[in-house]
């Protein structure tokens, strides 16, 4: 029921001023991918999808579910280039940061990269813009340490195996970026399957990062 009400709120929010989102990501959820679990689960647990999977990403966290106002705001920001929505997305990401990551020490925020062709078409990298808003307020550097060396079709249209194949060799370390011994927080707008975030984490871990976790505005 709550999900429906939130979905309807998303359609009707007034131009330029999204209302406060209602649907937070609440436990119980998977300790790794934060997939919400309908029934009560005691303690920390992994979902069926994560139990047999070799993740490079240590965990992902977000304050909200990707429905209603949050989803609509992300889509408008990203595809309709409504850049003025950035502070709302930043605040919602900060809610997740405060709730899950604030008590730990992080060396930098690393945005999920966009291929230069897509960045040009969109005018900005949404992940980097939200990360910058957050970084300036919580005192963390934003380092665009990853680059896309090969354009990939939008992941949303692909199946999981295709997504993984698609990502092979698509990401690399940016020139001069050294993740050795550092704890890095990947930033993105929405976490859905995590294929891209995990591929990013893999590149960073392989290059010596100590830990790579992810923070997003919302969990899909
Ligand atoms: Zn999981």
User: 126 C-alpha to center of ligand 1: Å?
Assistant: 25
Give, for all 220 residues of the chain, the pLDDT tens digit: 666 676 666 666 655 678 888 789 988 999 999 998 877 767 888 998 899 899 999 999 999 999 989 999 999 999 988 999 999 999 999 999 999 999 999 999 999 999 998 899 889 999 999 999 999 999 999 999 999 988 776 666 667 777 777 787 899 999 999 999 999 999 999 999 999 999 999 999 999 999 999 999 999 9
User: 28 C-alpha to center of ligand 1: Å?
Assistant: 11
User: 131 C-alpha to center of ligand 1: Å?
Assistant: 24
Of the candidates 109, 183, 119, 184, the residue with the CA atom closest to the CA atom of residue 148: 119
User: 16 C-alpha to center of ligand 1: Å?
Assistant: 34
Of the candidates 181, 172, 93, 174, the residue with the CA atom closest to the CA atom of residue 140: 93
Maximal CA-CA distance, the chain: 50
User: 60 C-alpha to center of ligand 1: Å?
Assistant: 9
2-219 is classed CATH 3.40.50.2020: yes
User: 116 C-alpha to center of ligand 1: Å?
Assistant: 31
pTM of the model: 0.90
User: 32 C-alpha to center of ligand 1: Å?
Assistant: 5
Per-domain residue ranges for the chain? 2-219
């Amino acid at each position: 029921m709550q999900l429906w009400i939130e979905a309807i709120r998303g359609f009707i929010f007034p131009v330029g001023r999204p209302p406060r989102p209602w649907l937070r990501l609440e436990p119980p959820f998977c300790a790794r991918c934060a997939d919400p679990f309908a029934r009560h689960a005691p303690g920390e647990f992994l979902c069926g999808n994560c139990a047999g999977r070799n993740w490079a990403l240590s965990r992902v966290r977000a304050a909200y579910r990707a429905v209603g106002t949050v989803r609509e705001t992300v889509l408008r920001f990203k595809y309709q280039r409504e850049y003025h929505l950035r502070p709302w997305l930043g605040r919602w990401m900060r809610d997740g940061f405060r709730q899950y990551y604030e008590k730990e020490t992080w060396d930098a925020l690393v945005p999920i990269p966009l291929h230069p062709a897509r960045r040009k078409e969109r005018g900005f990298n949404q992940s980097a813009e939200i990360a910058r808003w957050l970084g300036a307020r919580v005192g963390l550097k934003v380092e665009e340490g990853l680059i896309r060396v090969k354009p990939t079709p939008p992941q949303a249209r692909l199946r999981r195996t295709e997504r993984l194949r698609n990502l092979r060799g698509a990401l690399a370390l940016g020139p001069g970026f050294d993740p050795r011994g550092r704890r890095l927080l990947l930033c993105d707008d929405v976490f859905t399957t995590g294929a891209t975030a995990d591929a990013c984490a893999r590149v960073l871990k392989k290059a010596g990062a100590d830990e790579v976790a992810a923070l997003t505005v919302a969990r899909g």
